[in-house]
Amino acid sequence: MTDSIRHIYRWDLDKTYLRTDFDTIRDLVRTALQRPEDKVNVPGVVTLLKELTHHTDDGRAYLTFISGSPTQMRAKLEAKFALDGIEPDVFILKPTLQNILKGRFRAIRGQVGYKLDNLLKVRHEGPVAGETLFGDDAEQDAFIYSLYADLAAGLIDRDLLFAILDEAGVYAPTRASILERFQSMRKDANVGRIFIHLDRHTAPGRFLVFGPRVVPITNYFQAALVLFADGVLDVEPVYRVAAGMIRNHGYGIPQLANSFQDLLRRRHLGRDVVDRLATAAATDALPSGLADEFLIRVRALAPRQSRPTTAWEGPPDYLAVLKADQKLREKIDPEPGLF
Amino acid sequence: MGDTRPINIAVDAMGGYHAPDEVVAAVAQASLKREDQTRPVYFTLVGDEVRLTERLVESNHNSERIQIRHAPTVVGLSERPRQAIEDRPDSSILQACDLVRTGEADAVISAGHPGVAVLAALQFFELVEGIPRAALASVYPTPRVRGEKEDPFSLILDVGATLRATPEDLLNFGLMGSAYARIVSNNDRPKVALLSNSRESTVGPDEVVAAYDLMSTHPTLNFYGNIEGHEIPRGLADVVVCEGYAGDIAIKILEGVSEAAFDLARSAYNSKMAWRMGLKLLSGGLKQLKQLTDFEEYGGAPLLGIDQVVILCHPRSGKKAIGNALKLAIKNVRAELPTTIAEALHG
Task: For each of the domains in chain A, give its residue range(s) and CATH number, in order of start.
Answer: 1-217 (3.40.50), 235-306 (no CATH)
Q: What DSSP line would sit under B158-191, residue for residue? A: -SSSSS---HHHHHHHHHHHHHHHHHHH--SS--
Q: Is residue A44's pLDDT more than 80? A: yes
Among B188, B223, B254, identify where a domain stops.
Answer: B254
Residue B154 phi/psi, 5-degree rounding, is: -105, 165
* Whether B311 contacts B109, CB under 8 Å: yes
Mutate to test the interface with A, among B7, B32, B67 (most CBs of A within 10 A): B67
In chain B, the residue whose alpha carbon lies closest to the alpha carbon of A203 is: B60
- B13 and B105 in a single domain? The answer is yes
In-domain check, residue B148: yes
Q: B45 vs chain A: nearest CA distance in angstroms? A: 11
Task: Name the least confident of A278-287, B28-37, B111-120.
Answer: A278-287
Within this chain, do residues B87 and B140 fall inside the same structural domain, yes or no?
A: no
CA B255 to chain centre: 14
Cβ contact A259–B63 (<8 Å): yes
Interchain proximity A338–B286, CB inside 8 Å: yes
User: Domain check: are B161 and B57 in the same one?
Assistant: no
Does residue A308 have a cis peptide bond before it, meaning omega lies within 30 degrees of 0? Answer: no
Q: Is B334 on the interface with A (CB under 8 A)?
A: no
Residue of A113 and B279 predicted with greater confidence = A113
The verdict on B64 and B172 lying in the same domain is: no
ipTM: 0.90
- Choose the final residue of a domain: B254, B279, B313: B254
Q: Do B283 and A338 touch (CB under 8 A)?
A: yes
Backbone dihedral angles phi then psi of residue A283, each to the nearest 5 degrees: -90, 155
Positive or negative CA dihedral for A82, A85, A86, A89?
positive
pLDDT tens readout for residues B219-245: 999 999 999 999 988 889 999 999 999
Q: Which of residues 9-28 of B touch A (CB under 8 A)?
A: none
Contacts A–B by Cβ distance under 8 A = 81
Q: Residue A187: pLDDT band by 50, 70, 90 thresholds?
A: very high
Q: State how far the alpha carbon of A99 is from the alpha carbons of A140, A172, A176, in Å.
A: 19, 13, 16
Do the domain assignments include residue B273? Answer: no
Give the residue-averaged pLDDT of B27-33: 96
Residue B123 lies in a domain: yes
Looking at B219, B254, B289, which one is the last position of a domain? B254
Q: Could you tell me if B53 lies within 8 Å of chain A, comparing CB atoms?
A: yes
How near does any CA of chain B get to the CA of A133, in Å? 22
Are B77 and B113 in a shared domain? yes
A78-82, A162-166, A220-224, B315-319: which has the minimum mean pLDDT? B315-319
Q: Do B67 and A266 touch (CB under 8 A)?
A: no
Both B124 and B141 in one domain: the answer is: no
Specify whether B109 is located in the same domain as B169. Answer: no
Of residues A258, A266, A303, nearest to B42 (C-beta): A258
pLDDT of residue A146: 97
Alpha-carbon distance B142 to B139, whole Å? 10
Mean pLDDT of B158-184: 92
Residue A203: which of B42, B59, B283 has the nearest Cβ?
B59
CATH number of B318's domain: 3.40.718.10
Give yes or no: residues B98 and B13 share one domain.
Answer: yes
User: Which pLDDT value is given to residue A337?
Assistant: 59
- Structural domains counted in chain B: 2
Considering the domain architecture, whether residues B249 and B151 belong to the same structural domain is answered as yes
Mean pLDDT along residues A96-108: 76
Domain that holds residue B197: 135-254
pLDDT tens digits for B50-100?
A: 999 999 999 999 999 999 999 999 999 889 999 999 999 999 999 999 999
Q: Are B201 and B234 members of one domain?
A: yes
Contact residues on chain A for B49, CB-CB shorter than 8 A: 265, 303-305
B315 and B207 in one domain? no
Residue B28 has pLDDT above 50, yes or no: yes
Q: Do A337 and B49 touch (CB under 8 A)?
A: no
- For residue B326, being part of any structural domain is answered with yes
The verdict on a CB contact (< 8 Å) between B57 and A254 is no
